[in-house]
């Protein structure tokens, strides 16, 4: 039986915990029984919550459930307009294995850190393994934004929020302020180019 939205198409969203809530710093426990009503209800609520908030992914601890469960994926996402599509995935008891040492820094946000973003280093290639809601094995090798999303969500299961991985805290802030700073830099760059032409 496939997962679907709540019966009657009513959204069954749950409140998302925000940074500062001590539950987000706890290590989640493995799921021991698959395909249970409790697990299916949790996943349906997580899907509804992620969709309602335009999230790229969501981890069970973010809705106050300390199980090793994450969901992620989208075709298009207004919060990440330039990101490639990621197939929707339910991943239970995940295991990540980096492939090589290559890392890349890129901007990340989080539903538990609303209104902010930061420049976060992540492995560019990795293999992830785990199970779907029915206990069927999932084993994929991915790269790019797909790899970044998986690492971000699985971090939640170990009590890690993305600001803890930022190397330079000058590259972390509120979206509006960062956008304004980037616009100022673009304006200065354009003015500089104009001066070069005039010279």
Q: Is 193 labeled as catalytic in the residue annotation?
A: no
Report the length, in residues, of the chain.
199
Q: Please state, in angstroms and rounded to a whole number, the distance separating the CA atoms of residues 20 and 58.
A: 17
3-class DSSP state of 138? strand
Contacts of 126 by beta carbon, 8 Å cutoff, 6+ apart: 96, 97, 98, 99, 141, 142, 143, 147, 150, 151
Q: Please state, in angstroms and rounded to a whole number, the distance separating the CA atoms of residues 79 and 51.
A: 12
Q: Please state, in angstroms and rounded to a whole number, the distance separating the CA atoms of residues 77 and 51.
A: 10
From 143, 153, 183, 199, active-site residue: 153
Is 123 within 8 Å of 103 (Cβ atoms)?
A: yes
Active site residues: 153
């Amino acid at each position: 039986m496939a997962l679907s939205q709540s019966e009657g198409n009513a959204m069954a969203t749950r409140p998302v915990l925000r940074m500062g809530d001590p539950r987000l710093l706890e290590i989640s426990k493995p799921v021991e029984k698959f395909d249970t009503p409790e697990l299916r209800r949790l996943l349906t609520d997580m899907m509804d919550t992620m969709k309602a908030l335009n999230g790229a992914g969501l981890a069970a601890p973010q809705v106050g459930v300390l199980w090793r469960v994450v969901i992620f994926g989208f075709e298009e996402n207004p919060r990440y307009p330039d990101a490639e599509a990621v197939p929707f995935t339910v991943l239970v008891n995940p295991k990540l294995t980096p492939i090589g040492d290559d890392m890349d820094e890129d901007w990340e946000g989080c539903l538990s850190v609303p209104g902010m973003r930061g420049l976060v280093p992540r492995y560019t290639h990795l293999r992830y393994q785990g199970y779907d809601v029915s206990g069927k094995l999932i084993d994929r090798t991915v790269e790019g934004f797909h790899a970044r999303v998986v690492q971000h969500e699985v971090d939640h299961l170990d009590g890690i929020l993305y600001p803890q991985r930022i190397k330079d805290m000058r590259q972390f802030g509120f979206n509006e302020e960062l956008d304004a700073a980037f616009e100022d830099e673009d304006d200065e760059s354009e003015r500089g180019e104009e001066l070069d032409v005039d010279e």
